Amino acid sequence: MIFAGNLGAQLLQAIILGLCLRAFGHHATIAELLLVNTIAALFAGFMPVPGGMGVAEAAYTAGLVALGVPNAAAMSTAIAFRMVTYYLLPPAGLGRDCHALAAAALVPVTGALAPLLQRAPVGRVAAA
C-alpha cells in the first residue's frame, strides 16, 4: 500500500514535470522524467536546506540538461515545476486553514465538552 502510494506520487510528479517541460517547447519520456525526479528528490533530501530550496531547482536543471534540454529551458522548467508543486501550496493551505478557523469560531460549542471549551466573558475572570 505504501509502495503504491509512493509510486503514484512519483508518477504524478513526473507527469507534472513533463507538462512544465512541454510548456517551454521540449519533451522527454516518462522514464527520463521519473529518473530526473527521483535523483533530484534524493539529492535535495541529502542537503541540510529546508525543503531543498535552491538545491532541488539545481538538481532538476542539471538532470534536464543531461537529457539534452537547453540551459534556459531546463532552468525555467525547474522553477515552474517547483512553483507548482512546492511554493504555491503553503499559501493555498493557509487560506484554507484561516477559512476553517473562522468558520469554527462561528459554530457554537455544544455537548459534554461545552463547559470546558466555553470562553469567559470579556472583562470578567472565569470562576475557578
The predicted-structure confidence for 102-119, as pLDDT tens digits, reads as follows 555 555 555 565 555 555
Which amino acid is it at 53? M
- Tell whether 75 is covered by a domain: yes
Tally the residues of the chain.
Answer: 128
Grid coordinates in use for 26?
521540449
The per-residue pLDDT for 52 is 81
Q: Read off the pLDDT of each residue in 6-19 and give the average, rounded to a whole number.
A: 92
- Tell whether 98 is covered by a domain: no
- Tell whether 23 is covered by a domain: yes
Q: How far apart are CA 16 and CA 34, in angstroms?
A: 11
Model pTM score: 0.69
Q: Which domain holds residue 31?
A: 2-91
The per-residue pLDDT for 98 is 58
Give the total number of structural domains in the chain.
1
- Tell whether 99 is covered by a domain: no
Are 80 and 72 spatial neighbours (Cβ–Cβ below 8 Å)? no
Q: How far apart are CA 43 and CA 61, in angstroms?
A: 12
